Amino acid sequence: MKVKINDCYYEGIQGETLLDLAKRNNIEIPSLCHKNGFEGQGRCRLCIVEVKEGKKTKVVSSCVYPIKDGLEVVTNSDKIIKMRKDIILLLLMKTPNNEYIKNLASEYGITAPSRYVDLNNNENCILCGLCVKACEKMGTSAISFVNRGTSKRVSTPYDDPSKDCIGCGACAEVCPTKAISLIDKDGIRTIWNKEFHLVECSVCGKYYTTKEAIEFIDSKLGEISDKHICETCKKKIISEKFKESFENYY
């Protein structure tokens, strides 16, 4: 199936969204609430593009728009750039001191009018929902959106330490604006008002995850792992094994 993006034609794969197709072909479309391996959410609206189907043109969120044969797409028309700038301005007014959003705004040449901005506002969350998705994908769903309207935010139920939270830190890892407080100190991780004991990697000796996260994964796999190895060491071991078998083969 052929899709035209900004004057060039690209071969799409059944089931792809416009953003998937663009990313696969190194076409820049900004997005905040999209992460590889996650389904699109259409939440931040930064990935809007103009789509022409037949005689009709419309603005859609590319992360949730499925590709179709013959689709014509423009990712950077004046209209789209103007709309993106408006979205970024709103984000900047919500989180005026957040470094990530400030950098994004300066990339687009945006400054928020000072009379509308509270410079003492240290809000960092842009409500993109990635942390909630990551927690859901871990199979824990310890956090969710709470409240509505301007007081909407992400938290555990009643802001209490959640019995479901395993302290894995996936939420903090995916957060684009570093809005989630995760503190690792003296072998203790503090996140979402709860403390966890950190576990050391049996190879490099660095703390890398929590006891609860290991137990949770073991319970899902139905086995108890006696060796605790961090991702960096796992990768090193695999690449050394690969190198060894390659050398033996030749």
Residues that bind ligand SF4 (CB under 6 A): 125-131, 154, 174-175, 177, 179-180
Show Cβ contacts of residue 215 under 8 Å, excluding neighbours closer than 6 positions.
166
Which residue's CB is nearer to ligand SF4, number 192 or number 216?
192
At residue 250, the 3 state secondary structure works out as coil
CB of 90 to ligand SF4, least distance (A): 14
> What residues contact 38, with CB distance under 8 A and at least 6 apart?
130, 133, 134, 137
Shortest distance in whole angstroms from residue 163 CB to ligand SF4: 20
Kindly tell me which of 88 and 131 has the beta carbon lying closer to ligand SF4. Answer: 131
Nearer to ligand SF4, 21 or 126 (CB): 126
**Pair 198, 221: CB distance under 8 Å:** no
Q: How many CA atoms lie within 13 A of 11 on its CB side?
A: 0
Supply the minimum distance, in Å, between the C-beta of residue 242 and ligand SF4: 35
Cα distances from 93 to residues 81, 86, 101, 197, in angstroms, run 18, 11, 10, 38
Tokens of 40: 């699109």
* Secondary structure letter of residue 147 according to DSSP: S
**Closest distance between ligand SF4 and the C-beta of residue 168, in Å?**
14
User: What is the residue type of 45?
Assistant: R
Taking the least distance from each CB to ligand SF4, the nearer of 5 and 32 is 32
Q: Give min distance, CB of 160 to ligand SF4, in A.
A: 18
Amino acid identity for residue 133 in this structure? K
Q: Which is nearer to ligand SF4, 130 or 138 (CB)?
A: 130
| Backbone angle region of 210, left / alpha / beta, with phi > 0 → left and psi within -120 to 50 → alpha | beta
Using the minimum distance from each CB to ligand SF4, give the nearer residue, 141 or 239. 141
Which phi and psi (to 5°) does residue 82 adopt?
-65, -45
Minimum CB distance to ligand SF4, residue 32 (Å): 8
